[in-house]
Chains A and B, each alone.
Chain A
Amino acid sequence: MTQGKEMNRRAFLRYSAATGALAAAGFAAPARAEMYNVTLNIMSHPGQILPIYTHHTDFLKETYGITLNLLESPDPTSYQDSLKDLNAGGGKYDMVMHFPRYNGDLTSAGYLKPLDELIEKHDAGALFDNISDAYRKLYCEWGGDTIAIPVDGDVAMMYYRKDAFDNPEAQARYREQFGTDLKLPRTWDDFKQIAAFFTGWDWAGSGRNGYGFQTSTWDRAFIEQQWAPMMASAGGNWFDDECNPAFNNAAGVRAANDLKALIATAPPGSASLSWGQTMETIFAEDVAMSLWYMDLGRLGWAENSWFASSGGPETMAKFGYAQWPGYEIDGIYRNFNSMFYGRVAAVTNFTENEDACMAVIKTLLTPERRVLSMDDAQSGSDMFLKTDYTTDAFKVLTPSQEFLDAAKAVISNGFPEMNMPGTGEYMDALQGELHGFLTGDGDSAEAALDRAADRWQSITDRYGRENQIAAWAKVRASYKAAGLNIGG
């Protein structure tokens, strides 16, 4: 308890110092802001993502004379709307939102405006420096140019049931069965063993059998977000330097086989669940370890969040937080977390209101403004600013500092989305084969990944191998800049 208080006090001081420094640098609500008196057409993902903007509509109107015309576009297809706009000559949107995986497509096609000059003109460097380094290097830049800002810092972490790991009976049974102590898994081999151990008996005392594992979803469209970080932890990558697939190898096969083994320890029917239904299952069943996004730890405690109807606060008290396990290969230990499906916003090259767009960006990145959409039980915007990872940043929600510390570590060590031209097609080819392997029972991981790799070669050739090699070099440079030790 004392320790917690000290942590809070320290965190508070850090938060105060950081926001104070940013305010001193002139990025708090401006006293005399330029009035633009324009309406900006802003494309946004719908539903729980809208609060990212709606929290600022009045502020922007009053402070800058900017009216936001929010145009909703479904998450998976918003980049298609951007490309449609581009192909139609542009001008429909001033700002757009997309998953970072489409940065390469949209930037290479000339749709996104490089922001560096605007950042300098509007003296916004400190706000950008406050973005988590990993998100800034991996998802906000393309070829060294800043082309986007994060608006949702989705990364998946490991949630585990403390009552499972602290259970004396479970500890005794585990020691008896494996000759070692029951503790949080360091490797995926440990994870598999523990997941299997917790499957099929009533370790929670709820009168029903528990399960070992659940992930965010097995939905075909999201299936790579679980496998890819495991593949990278095993020493693989999307491509090698010559843009040949670098996943149809021992690393990719090991990850796929391990993932398939883990499915057997998940609640029945898990392979057909949607994003929301997996969460209902985690709450409805006793699942010892789950791999899920930040939303759970951020707002799972709130009585009115979308988790509340599934179980919410009572179950939240049982959760602990950790990074994903990894693999130790040839003495190198890697444990990447899944850094998929965050969101970024960008200014289009066709806007005639770039300065007004920059005012919006500054608002979205100013800590005391940004926190409004993060500190909202109805919002899907997770942490991405360096100043977000302290309980003092929250006034409404009550995430624990333990969770925020884990979240901060997780975002610094995430395996990112591929993020280069053609990502949609590359991922489609991979998703199909992975889904077929994980839900089927006849094919080998080798065969499935080889087929995906063959398609990737053909896609690379169609996009132009030289172009793709150059694009991949940019992506690899961003890995290096973010300090990620990715092999392949």
Chain B
Amino acid sequence: MRGQKRFAWLMAAPSILAMVALGIVPLVWMVWTAFQSFSPNPRIPPRFSGLDNLGNLVGDPQFVGSLKITILVLIAALILQLVLGFILALALYSIKRARGLVVSLILIPTAIAPIVAGIVWWMLFNTRFGAINSVLFQWFGIDPVNWTIEMPTAYIAIVVAVVWQWTPFVAVILLGGLTTIPRDTLDAARIDGATAWQRLRYIVLPLMRPFFLVVGLLMIIEIVRLYELPFYITQGGPGNQTVVAGVFLFKLAFSFFDLGRASMMSVFLVIALSMIAALYMRLVADHKNKGASG
């Protein structure tokens, strides 16, 4: 028995070591650096600075602004992704032939590198040369809109791009969930006279909760660490109004080379993300339905 245990530990050891080396050590180092003051000059050693980095961040309007805009993007994009993703999943579910091909095609936006997607959307939203303004003018006679340099259009542009890129991914995960719902259950409900809405409300959605939970969490993480799309579409403008958390974090770490403040912000985001995730799980996970959803 002891030999078996030792063997099991031996087998697990590489994974544990890898996890410690790649996950725990950087995390601990990040927490340590969050309380240090760094100079861009490596010859000047870091010094313990207590909560100075946090104080400096809180006093920086760009930090506060980045949290606000990130939350706004998160709320709008998450809701739209889940709603549109579910509608798309239902549409895909109804396809009987060549569904695999269609799924592959709609996943193209997700497969595109965010940096490329950012550039493409920046071009589409360009006031003077962009296709969106061109269509709005030619079809509806609407004067050019300064999408990327005014609010709230800059915010809308970012949300549109994020939703465009990730909704197909959401749809595919939810499609996977739809395929797990027993056909018999739906048929029985139909025979019992349940309307389409009732089947959706009382059978499909409860059974889909775990899938919404997983894909929602993934999207929350993705949106909170958003960087390339807003960076390229608005460059943080107008002013600093669309500097999302990911962009500000990048600036701290790589433009200002302030590892202390960057780490403190990362710690802050990890805590905030955990709280948002917990709140989301509380909203979505229905303990009463745990048994039903397996």
Binding site for B on A (CB under 8 A): 77, 80, 83-84, 86-87, 89, 105, 108-110, 218-221, 267-273, 277, 280-281, 421-422, 424-425, 428-429, 432-433, 435-437, 439-440, 451, 455, 458, 462
Task: Give the distance in Å from the alpha carbon of A30 to the alpha carbon of B74 in the complex.
Answer: 63
Q: Which residues of A contact B150 (CB under 8 A)?
A: 439-440
B residues neighboring A (CB under 8 Å)? 39-43, 56, 59-62, 126-129, 133, 144, 146-150, 235-241, 243, 251, 254-258
Residue of A nearest to B125 (CB): A272
For A77, the chain B residues whose CB sits under 8 A away are: 254-255
Distance in angstroms from A341 CB to nearest chain B CB is 16
- State whether B146 touches A271 (Cβ < 8 A): yes
Residues A272 and B149 in contact, CB atoms below 8 Å apart: yes
CA distance A84 to B126 in the complex (A): 33
B237 contact set on A, CB distance < 8 A: 220, 432, 435-436, 439
Given A110-B41, A272-B149, verify A277-B239 contact (CB < 8 Å): no
- In the assembly, what is the distance between CA of A269 and CA of B60, in Å? 31
A433 — which chain B residues lie within 8 A by C-beta? 239-240
Give the contacting residue for A105; candidates B40, B59, B127, B128; CB below 8 A.
Answer: B40
With the chains together, A40 CA to B238 CA distance in Å? 42
Q: Given that A108-B41, A221-B235 are contacting pairs, would A272 and B62 also be in contact in the complex, using a CB cutoff of 8 Å?
A: no
A270 CB contacts on chain B under 8 angstroms: 128
User: A269: which of B127, B240, B241, B255 is its contact (CB, 8 Å)?
Assistant: B127
B128 near A281 with CB under 8 A, answer yes
- Chain A interface mostly: helix
Collect the chain B residues with CB atoms within 8 Å of residue A281's CB: 128
In contact, B128 and A440 (Cβ under 8 angstroms): no
Query: In the assembly, what is the distance between CA of A63 and CA of B48, in Å?
Result: 52
Bound CA–CA A424/B40 (angstroms): 12
A270 vs B40: C-alpha distance when bound (angstroms): 36
Instruction: Say which residue of B40, B127, B148, B251 sits within 8 Å of A83 (CB atoms).
Output: B40
| Cα–Cα distance between A252 and B182 once the two chains are bound (Å) | 69
A439 to B68 Cα, complex, angstroms? 20
A295 to chain B, nearest CB (A): 20
Q: List 30 A-B contacts (CB under 8 A).
A: A80-B254, A83-B40, A83-B257, A86-B41, A87-B257, A108-B41, A109-B40, A109-B41, A221-B235, A271-B127, A272-B127, A272-B146, A273-B128, A281-B128, A428-B251, A428-B255, A432-B236, A432-B237, A432-B243, A433-B240, A435-B149, A435-B237, A435-B238, A436-B241, A437-B239, A439-B238, A439-B239, A440-B238, A451-B61, A455-B61
B240 CB → nearest A CB, Å: 4
| A272 and B238 in contact, given A83-B257, A105-B40 (Cβ under 8 angstroms) | no
Closest to A424 in B: B255
A433 to B237, CA, bound (A): 10
Further pairs besides A273-B129, A425-B258: 14, Cβ < 8 Å = A219-B235, A272-B127, A277-B126, A280-B129, A421-B40, A428-B256, A432-B62, A432-B240, A433-B240, A436-B238, A437-B239, A439-B146, A439-B238, A455-B61
> Given the complex of chains A and B, what is the CA–CA distance between A221 and B236 in angstroms?
10
Residues from chain B with a CB closer than 8 A to the CB of A268 are 127-128, 144
**Distance of A418 from chain B, by nearest CB (Å):** 14
Closest Cβ–Cβ distance, residue A104 to chain B (whole Å): 11
The residue of chain A having its C-beta at the shortest distance from the C-beta of B40 within the complex is A109
Please report the C-alpha to C-alpha distance between residue A268 and residue B129 in the assembled complex, in whole angstroms: 11
> Across the interface, which residues of B come within 8 angstroms of A435, CB to CB?
149, 237-239
Which 8 pairs from chain A and chain B are nearest by CB?
Answer: A436-B239, A269-B127, A269-B128, A432-B240, A109-B41, A272-B127, A220-B235, A439-B238
Q: B56 touching A462 by the CB < 8 A rule?
A: yes
Residue of A nearest to B145 (CB): A269
B255's partner among A80, A108, A218, A436 (CB-CB below 8 A) is: A80
Q: Which of A83, A272, A422 contacts B147 (CB 8 A)?
A: A272
- A278 vs B235: C-alpha distance in the bound complex, in angstroms? 17
A109 lies within 8 A of B149 (CB) = no
A367 to B56, CA, bound (A): 50
Q: Which of A267, A272, A425 contacts B256 (CB 8 A)?
A: A425
Q: Which residues of A contact B146 (CB under 8 A)?
A: 269, 271-272, 439
Please give, as numbers and ranges, the residues of chain B lying within 8 Å of A89 by CB-CB distance: 42
Bound together, the chains give a CA A83 to CA B256 distance in angstroms of 10
Question: Smallest Cβ distance from A345 to chain B, in angstroms?
Answer: 20
CA A433 to CA B146, docked complex, whole Å: 18
Q: Are A271 and B149 touching (Cβ within 8 A)? A: yes
A424 to B239, CA, bound (A): 16
Which one of A89, A428, A458 has the greatest number of beta carbons of chain B within 10 Å? A428
CA distance A353 to B173 in the complex (A): 55
* CB neighbours of B133 from chain A (8 A): 269
Expressed in whole angstroms, the minimum distance between the Cβ of A465 and any Cβ of chain B is 15
B257: shortest Cβ distance to chain A, in Å? 5
Question: What chain B residues lie within 8 Å of A84 (beta carbons)?
Answer: 254
| Distance, CA A437 to CA B240, complexed state (A) | 11
- Minimum CB–CB distance for A366 against chain B, Å: 34
* B42 in complex: contacting residue of A80, A86, A272, A455, CB < 8 Å: A86
Bound Cα distance from A89 to B42, whole angstroms: 8
The residues of B that contact A219 with a CB separation of less than 8 Å are: 235
Chain A, Cβ-Cβ closest to B122: A274
Set of chain A residues within 8 Å of B43, measured between Cβ atoms: 109-110
B235 touches A455 (CB 8 A): no
